[in-house]
Copies of this chain bind each other. A is one copy, B any other.
Amino acid sequence: MLLPVKKLRAIKQEIRIVGVDDGFFAPHTKGLADVIGVVYRGGYWLDGAMKTEVTIDGMDATDKIAEMIMASPHYAQLRILMLNGVTFAGFNVVDIHKLSKLTALPVIAVTREKPNFSDIHKALTHLPDGDTRWKIIENAGALVSLRTRKGREPIYIQVAGISGEDAKRVVRESSTRSNVPEPLRVAHIIASGLTKASAKI
């Protein structure tokens, strides 16, 4: 499924980005895990927060994240959707192309560490719909590495609905405090900070 790539004419410093990450959960259990979205204006100001729940090792992350974002009062202002990787709540894989189509937003999945695809492939064989999950991961496309800050390790991105070059620019411009974009750094802090004491099991 190839989607038209939105061309960003100019990346304004205050471009609205939503960053999405999951909270703590007990791996290999049945249940739900919190998924948090935070809206930033560029890399500087937090503008909004939203929450949904996805099934641990389930198949609903793509739809649930799309619903959360489209139900938000910030949706009309959003220009970019960033994900902390493509797997949430265990192996609940996000189809970034479908997510981009559902939300009509460019999607950029960011990881600090290069995923070990052979380990992931092996783990998926133990889960229902293992082949479907693997296909979704493969379809996310090649990992592109980039350096957001001098002297720091590179990070990796996968994109949907945006060119690799535009995605790199947005990721670099929004990495104001660390080597990952501020909306994702903060989504991680909030998701983990608020779920630690009350992890759903």
Contacts and interface: CB of A to CB of B under 8 A. Distances in A.
Nearest to A176: B45
Q: What bracket does the count of chain A residues touching chain B fall in?
A: 20 to 34
Contacts of A186: 46
Interface in A38-54: 38, 44-52
A36 to B, nearest CB: 7
A193 B52 contact: no
A190 interface: yes
Interface in A61-98: 71
Contacts of A190: 38, 46, 49, 190, 194
B52 A197 contact: yes
A194 B36 contact: yes
Interface of A: 36, 38, 44-52, 71, 177, 186, 189-190, 193-194, 197-198
